[in-house]
Structure 1
């Protein structure tokens, strides 16, 4: 609380006027001088004449600045037209009219906050995790002008020389890995086994940041993310057969369909190449117009398309855009694979909040683009559920009052069991507040460090889910990391659903990992009033647990073998970050899927790429951070020395 506001003459320090202070939740109020008016207060704002101290304007903004959040730990900002508050996200308080607005999906970092300048609003990355379904990551700048989607005059589809002339090899077998994480469910598993004992068959240095590989037609396909180039390699020898570049980056691997190689690009287009020779069959312009922005020092569309598209019931589905609150929203589309014909399309925008209605501190309706997944019936884009004609479907909302302030908490139950990543499938930061989860649940804001089938990465088959948790203890606010203490790998039955314990009529939560230090274990019986909510736990034990000395950053399941890859979990005294920064290479570990016991370790000269591990046709392919792709296969018995 500020007791008094003083106005002193800058020349002689004489008191010109003073007025009573105001209460301002969380910290001292900010003072802004705009057009000779001194603004202060919260949520009851006063504007006083700069020279006389007389109140000349007031604003009552209880609805815009509700309680339920503390003020951010950075100063508010102001422009000639707005005060910009950081309560839940960024609230634009109109100094000239009553056109106030609330933007919970963008928030600034501690100390620095956000910055209006150059006609833009600059938003650095922050460490909060409210509104995970809509929050924007990274450092970005947004403009104030309307971004209504224009009607483009250019043709949506272009035909190339390979149009209507498919590859000779068109069959995809169950042993292949034809799409991101092997199948439309994104399970990261294949039924065909790989040997427990492996040797390097070939390696190919491509350079740059590589995606996960995909395999079919006796070929391996991998994309250089920044160069936007797809490479086709012979699966047996590693020889490069062809390369083809798009006009933008490719952030995830292509999808192989009937002899075609189909992928999206950051240039806002979808490309279809013939698998035999890389010739273009068609290109579909998914972005509504050819407008470019600068992203990570490169030009890309304001409506980028993820590289990995979803193949479901003979159509390929994808998204164009970033957020329902940016550039007219996120477009979703379904294309016929051989022709690129547009079958379904929709656009998801907003919903823009009504400031006359209450908002909630941890969840908000809206949309954020991500790689699509499915439960076999519905499509999922993060929290959003759609049917196969791209009509939005409902999910069950479960709400309860929680936290010390009585805030409303929410999570959702989806119509089917599907894989979700609350930070997005391509987020490689391994933050302690983001989770992968194979479940009916959308966990949203809630913790899941004790939940089954949830962690920093996982793979699954028809019966079981195999997960790695980088974080088994709970830290309420700050990012955290405990290298050198091991990582927890475990298996669960697929029907072992996460439990949000509320008491009556529910299974009892159980402690499940006895090796966790007692003083760091968050009690499984916390009620909803605990700060940030109690989070999810479990009501049935894991099938097995194993602490590993590898920081698992890539996983694949091949028959009875679980494959793990990552840097070693060591902290050298002279160079503590050597392993985390990739200076100590990596480890490929093969373990038994039935009990987690280690079969063999294989040293790697470079750190594995994030989610860059696959298994296909009895071989293991791994992308690494030095731009190489490695192929492992069965040990050649003819080269082994005879045993005495």
Structure 2
């Protein structure tokens, strides 16, 4: 059986884990800059290794043309003294000890966890194909809150799994204690883009009107459609860029949720 390894490489001469920077979300920050103040040594050494089965991606068909790769590999985050992983085959979050690789806790959702996690203020945030956004305590994995992003709890068979009719595949981005995410991947069924308070999950704003836009499609015919949120979101200036799967992203005002453009 093929295995995928989660590795930790360190500079042994640096005193191991005496100092380190967090990697709190996909590509480090809300700009997705993939850059950290941490200075890597010229030579790294293997500290530990944990093996897992390969991921089961949602878009593995050749028609995808490699345009959606968000759940093909593990994309861990680091917060404090822990590494956090999401599993799309076992529907869970796992916390590993940064120094040893030992599993400290795990938490099961009600559907595949396909998008990278995010962390802030001692909490871990993630979305699932069950249509929910979750907040966990990073110390022990206990549930702090969860919010149903989908309009209802209806289920269907999708990607060989029982999932929400409106799976939450809006990759979480956090800025100024606000979470931005989304549910639903079919504009005709409605798409739901959110700004949530990171402390308690209360809704700051919700945009649920873009699916009714009558726009020209890539096949040159108009239809009622808009962005289909799939992938990690980005914040640049006052704009929230919502990944659109195989299509182009859309831009929203981060303060109001108003759609600024999609073309």
TM-score normalised per structure 2: 0.76
Aligned positions of 1:116-127 closer than 5 A: none
Larger fraction in strand: 2
Q: Is contact 1:377–1:387 with CA below 8 Å preserved after alignment?
A: yes
Taking the aligned partners of 1:394 and 1:343, their CA distance within structure 2 comes to: 21
1:53-76 deviation line (CA, Å, top 9, x unaligned): xxxxxxxxxxxxxxxxxxxxxxxx
Number of the residue aligned with 2:115: 252
Task: Give the aligned partner of residue 223 of structure 1.
Answer: 86
Number of corresponding residues: 218
- Aligned to 2:187, the other structure's residue is in SS state coil
How many angstroms does 1:366 deviate by?
2.1
Shift of 1:254: 1.2
What corresponds to 1:190 in structure 2?
A: 36
Whichever of the two has the greater Rg, that structure is: 1
> How far does residue 174 in structure 1 lie from its aligned partner after superposition?
8.6
Change (3 A) 1:345 1:336: same
Is 1:368–2:228 an aligned residue pair? yes
Q: Is the 8 A contact 1:251 1:307 kept in 2?
A: no
- The verdict on how the C-alpha distance between 1:220 and 1:243 changes in structure 2, with shifts beyond 3 A counting, is same
d(CA) in 2 for partners of 1:230, 1:180 = 15
Name the structure 1 match of 2:98: 235
CA distances 1:373-400 after superposition (whole Å, capped 9, x unpaired): 11132101143111012111147xxxxx
1:280-333 CA distances to partner (integer Å, 9 max, x unpaired)? Answer: 0111011101111112211111111127311022200101000322x1x21011
Shift of 1:189: 2.2
2:259 matched residue in structure 1:
392
Q: Take 1:372 and 1:359, find their aligned partners in 2: how far apart are those partners? A: 22
Deviations 1:426-475 (A, max 9, x none): xxxxxxxxxxxxxxxxxxxxxxxxxxxxxxxxxxxxxxxxxxxxxxxxxx
Moved over 3 A (4+): 358-365
The answer to whether the Cα contact below 8 Å between 1:208 and 1:225 also exists between their aligned partners in 2 is: no
| 1:196 to partner: Cα distance | 2.3
Q: 1:268 is matched with which residue?
A: 131
Looking at structure 2, the residues matched to 272 and 206 of structure 1 have their Cα atoms a distance apart, in angstroms, of 24
Whether 1:179 and 2:25 are equivalent positions in the alignment is yes
Change (3 A) 1:307 1:222: farther
> Once the two structures are superposed, what CA deviation does each residue of 1:123-147 show, in whole Å capped at 9, x if it has no partner?
xxxxxxxxxxxxxxxxxxxxxxxxx
* Aligned equivalents of 1:276, 1:359: Cα separation in 2: 46
Structure 2 residue 206 is the aligned partner of structure 1 residue 345: yes
| Paired position in structure 2 for 1:283 | 146
Are 1:207 and 2:53 counterparts?
A: yes
* TM-score normalised to structure 1 length: 0.32
Q: Partner of 1:349: helix, strand, or coil?
A: helix
With over 3 angstroms needed to count, the CA separation of the structure-2 counterparts of 1:363 and 1:390, relative to structure 1, is farther
Question: C-alpha offsets along residues 344-390 of structure 1, whole Å, 9 cap, x if unaligned?
Answer: 1111213246xxxx987559672221221111321011431110121
Contact 1:229/1:245 (CA < 8 Å) preserved in 2? Answer: yes
Q: What is the alpha-carbon distance in structure 1 between the residues aligned to residue 82 and residue 164 of structure 2? A: 30
Q: Say what the alpha-carbon RMSD is for the aligned residues.
A: 2.3
* 1:548-589 deviation digits (Å, cap 9, x = unpaired): xxxxxxxxxxxxxxxxxxxxxxxxxxxxxxxxxxxxxxxxxx
> 1 CA distance for matches of 2:90 and 2:219?
40
Question: Contact conserved, 2:177 with 2:199, CA < 8 A, in 1?
Answer: no
